Amino acid sequence: MSTFQAPIGTHDVLAPKSALWEGLIATFAQFSFQYGFTLALTPMFEEIGVFNRGIGEHSDVATKEMYVFQDRGERTYALRPEGTASVVRAFIQHQPTTPYKAWYVTPAFRYERPQAGRYRQHHQLGVEAIGTDDPAMDVEVIALAWRFYQALGLTRVRLLINSMGHDECRGRYVEVLRGHLEEHREELCDEHQKTWSQNPLRVLDCKRESCVRVVNDGPLLPDFLCADCAAHFDSVRNGLDALGIDSTLEPRLVRGFDYYTRTTFEFVAEALGSAQNAIGGGGRYDGLSEQLGGKPASGIGFGSGIERLLLAREAEGITSNLINRTIDIFVVDTTGRDNATVVVDELRRHGYAAERSFDSRSMKSQMKLADRSGAAIALLIGPQEAEADEITIRDLRSDDFERAQQRIAREDLLLTLRQHLNK
Ligand code: HAM
């Protein structure tokens, strides 16, 4: 019988790599806390309308990539392709005080053609701040992402930024863009020759050379901003300058979802080359609450792919972990009784990370496990030690066999470990 594999475009994450994930998530949780964001957990699936209305029926994600299913009650649901629409749906449902600042870590599902850095299940760290259109919040959200990337050790990240304006200025732009695309429709890629008129902004996202050429000759969004939107955008850019965060204006950056208004941005990891190099992206969505049936509430947020962050670190040659996941002590017990059980319990109660072996292995085999565990210290309990109520403590990092090993009274164990491990 054939064995099962993880589905195409998905990955298992096991140790030691999973320790890098822990480090990333713990660091992001700490940053979110420092910036005043609280954890939000929402269901992995929602009524399909949450995404269709939220990210836009004509977006690539909604038309081609969503995992849609019917449950046994014949309700139509979709696995979440992104985090924002669900958080806004929860905001409308629970009406927390504003500004409501939430962070999340979640898998996201998109039926895309898998390749390096692009998966059918990826994982996002993100934040959403709902209930204010103050440009200072845009700056805060972008700064959180930027400082987080710095903390990960990334140095080759570029921040691209644009403003899509509000409904009216964007509407005026879209009309002019529509005229331009109509004029050049035969030069567009095959797909956009058919779909350009449904949502002309999607053509700006197209990476195919033919569309890029048409778009490059076309009108630019920032030229269509009304005075309010232009002032909002200036404030955001000035705020970023004040924090020493460099941003590059990218007037064609519209991003793939329909909910975006005003500020949009993307973080590009230059070490990743040109394909799948966006390690994060986000923007304002001042109309999304209403689109989902709620009261008007402006919002802004960003999401960052964990897999891509790790690829970017790798590409920059960063190997350090952000969290210590090596154990302190390995207990080797050859008495055949429950000494190891009691000792590891005591150590763990005192804050040490301790491991032991199972299945009554030989001394040699247990020592091998101790070496492999990465622990700094092994505690050896054989029949002699047990009889004398003692314990042998061995420094696994020392080559000097004589000095590395010391026999102590059982009752002095914690004191001796404190001296050895400095904790
Ligand atoms: P997004 O740009 O679609 O935005 O995704 C955010 C990040 O998730 C991307 O920059 C990338 O790092 C990662 N990502 C996206 N798709 C994949 C994939 N198929 N495989 C691997 N990584 C991927 C959003 O999802 C918005 N919800 C962001 C946002 C939050 N806007 C406002 N608030």
Place of tokens 């050896």: 380
> pTM to 2 decimals?
0.95
Convert the pLDDT of each residue in 84-118 to its tens digit. Answer: 999 999 999 999 999 999 999 999 999 999 999 99
3-state DSSP percent of the chain in helix, strand and coil, to 5:
45, 20, 35
Do 354 and 310 touch, CB atoms closer than 8 A? no
pLDDT class for 404, splitting at 50, 70, 90?
Answer: confident
pLDDT class for 401, splitting at 50, 70, 90?
Answer: low
From 113, 257, 279, 313, mutation site for ligand 1 pocket: most ligand atoms within 8 A of C-beta? 257
Place of tokens 């690829």: 311
398 pLDDT above the threshold of 90: no
Mean pLDDT over 337-354 rounds to 97
Collapse the DSSP code of 3 into the 3-class scheme (helix H, G, I; strand E, B; otherwise coil) and give the result: coil
Do 126 and 226 touch, CB atoms closer than 8 A? no
Q: Rounded to the nearest whole angstrom, what is the distance from the C-alpha of residue 281 to the centroid of ligand 1?
A: 6
DSSP string, 260-279: -EEEEEEEEEGGG-STT-EE
From 91, 124, 138, 265, mutation site for ligand 1 pocket: most ligand atoms within 8 A of C-beta? 124
- State the closest ligand 1 atom to the C-alpha of 284, by its place in the atom list counted from 1: 32
215 pLDDT above the threshold of 90: yes
What stretches of 110-260 adopt beta strand conformation (E)?
121-130, 157-163, 248-249
Convert the pLDDT of each residue in 123-169 to its tens digit. Answer: 999 999 999 999 999 999 999 999 999 999 999 999 999 999 999 99
Mean pLDDT over 352-359 rounds to 97
| pLDDT of res. 60 | 85
308 pLDDT above the threshold of 80: yes
Closest C-alpha residue for ligand 1 atom 2: 281
Report the alpha-carbon distance of residue 15 to residue 281 in Å, rounded.
28
CA atoms within 13 A on the CB side of 374: 6
Do 306 and 125 touch, CB atoms closer than 8 A? yes
Structure tokens at 217: 């000759």
Structure tokens at 60: 């690539």
